[in-house]
Structure 1
Amino acid sequence: MITNKQRPWPAPSSSWIIKQSWRDLLFLHYAVKPELLRPHIPVGLELDTYEQEAWISIVPFWMSGIRFRGTPSVPYLSQFPELNVRTYVKVGDKSGVYFFSLDAKSALGVYFGRRFYHLPYCYANMSLERQADGKIVYDSFRNEGSFIFKGSYRPISEVYRAEAGTLDYWLVERYCLYSESRNRIWMSEINHEPWELQDAAYEISDNTMLQLSGIDIAAAPHCAHYCSRIDVHVWPLKPVQA
């Protein structure tokens, strides 16, 4: 049964500028000691923790229907796979996500994300295949640094919404992203319905996405989630007040 139908974060008052759909998402969540992760977080962001643990997540998925406000989506440009490595931060009492890397099979998407959102996008050779039994086979290789992610995943439970106060809720229900450029912190609001999650089974054959210097990450994720689709509105980037 789906519960928690209240939108957990109100929509920002200004107008969104981008709409997109995120599809076939897998969240692989790894617990990390906060003292190991803090040196990798820009000054101006506070590392967010859950019961004294920090977290890093790998998120393979694909995007579709990308368009700017008032314009249609463009075939062949509005759909591509993406692979994110992120952690959890806050400014004051506003929790969000901070990205260590975002790989995408879209030169335009990489340019736009870097230029207008100050996000560490990189182009990668990527493929995603949905098999007849619902399994998603995902393959990503970035020449720069030989970052690789190969594996498969599928949902194995009924759909549910995370309950407030739980680790599941803390990990996924975040409605802004933070980035850093020229020693300044920036923030973009993101709005969508609460995540409709499923438990996930997965097999990872190769994964070098967590090669962060000085961070000891467990060999296996602590937990995993799947979401089939969520429609997202994205607001313009704005500077965070010092």
Structure 2
Amino acid sequence: MPDSLSAASALNAPTLAQRLAIRERPAGTPLLHQEWGDLLFMHWPVPAAVLQPYLPPRLQVDTYDGQAWLGVVPFRMSKVRTRFSPPVPGTSEFLELNVRTYVHLDGVPGVWFFSLDATNALAVWVGRTIFNLAYLRADMHLESPTGHQHQFSARRTHSGAPAASFRATWQVGPPLPPAEPDSLAFFLTERYCLYTSNRAQTKLYRGRVAHEPWPLATAQVLHYESSLIESQGLPTPAGSPVLHAGGPVRVELWPMRRV
């Protein structure tokens, strides 16, 4: 089953031209502006057949050389504002931690979020209500004892959600050259749209994102413990993750559209 599913997904996968085209800034006015920084991409290879049942029927798992990927991404969000207002103190900066995989629909690659934990109650409400995203409240802390070392901890507090916690310490290394379009780094980090659905997974939505290509650096994880992936009912991925440190980037987000 894994081989046939990976082959089917690869057959319908976006072309390289389509992966590059989605980086173009959309027409119209973005709904939100923000900045992402102090970010760590942690990715594990996972059989496509493991992830596909968790997706809405029309979405297909995106694969690289036949392999699907599962990511855990902690970061700091700052300078958050709508197109109508400047940043509001107390709501414009917070921590976020997401569990994600990569998908495609009609030649358009994007991100599917299994969960998005955040410290900001308003951001959680907006994400769940307006964007149909699986945002959850959590207590989080990020400390940077040096300019290149980060310590991130999180404990989910959202009522009714599965319990989950996360703790990681990582060291940021030398900067990397821009990711080549056919590279694994490009596949894992250069994503310019996201997909969501209603709870019944009968309606599917796509939202566009625009930012400069990720400034990536090497990273070394000194400590890691997490139950985020397992809280989704997913098996614990085997082996060491592929790591990239990233940011900061200024980001624009457009309204979700039904597809």
Both structures adopt the same fold (TM-score exceeding 0.5): yes
Q: Confirm whether residue 125 of structure 1 aligns to residue 139 of structure 2.
A: yes
Specify the alignment match of 1:173 in structure 2: 190
How far does residue 216 in structure 1 lie from its aligned partner after superposition?
Answer: 5.0
Alpha-carbon contact 1:64-1:80 (below 8 Å) kept? yes
> What is the alpha-carbon distance in structure 1 between the residues aligned to residue 196 and residue 155 of structure 2?
24
Which residue identity lines up with residue 211 of structure 2 in the other structure?
A: H
How far does residue 204 in structure 1 lie from its aligned partner after superposition?
Answer: 3.1
Cα-to-partner distance string for 1:70-91 (whole Å, 9 max, x where unaligned): 3100111100000010000011
Q: 1:130 to 1:216 in 2, by over 3 A?
A: closer
Q: Confirm whether residue 213 of structure 1 aligns to residue 233 of structure 2.
A: yes
Specify the alignment match of 2:219 in structure 1: 200
Gaps of 5+ in 1: 1-5
Matches within 5 A, 1:14-163: 14-143=28-157, 144-163=161-180
Cα-to-partner distance string for 1:186-228 (whole Å, 9 max, x where unaligned): 010000001110011112342111114353511421x100013
**Partner SS, residue 215 of structure 1:** coil
Cα-to-partner distance string for 1:87-133 (whole Å, 9 max, x where unaligned): 00011110000000000001100000000000000000101111125
**Partner SS, residue 111 of structure 2:** strand
Alpha-carbon contact 2:175-2:215 (below 8 Å) kept? no
Q: Which runs of 4+ in 1 moved over 4 A?
A: none
Q: Percent identity?
A: 35
Aligned Cα RMSD in Å?
A: 1.6
> What is the alpha-carbon distance in structure 1 between the residues aligned to residue 137 and residue 41 of structure 2?
21
Q: 1:214 to 1:25 in 2, by over 3 A?
A: closer
Gaps of 5+ in 2: 1-19
**Structure in which a larger fraction of residues adopt helix:** 2
**Partner SS, residue 103 of structure 1:** strand
- Counting matched residue pairs gives 234
> What is the alpha-carbon distance in structure 1 between the residues aligned to residue 23 and residue 147 of structure 2?
35
Cα-to-partner distance string for 1:151-198 (whole Å, 9 max, x where unaligned): 111211224210110111011111000001041110100000011100
Match of 1:164 among 178, 181, 205: 181
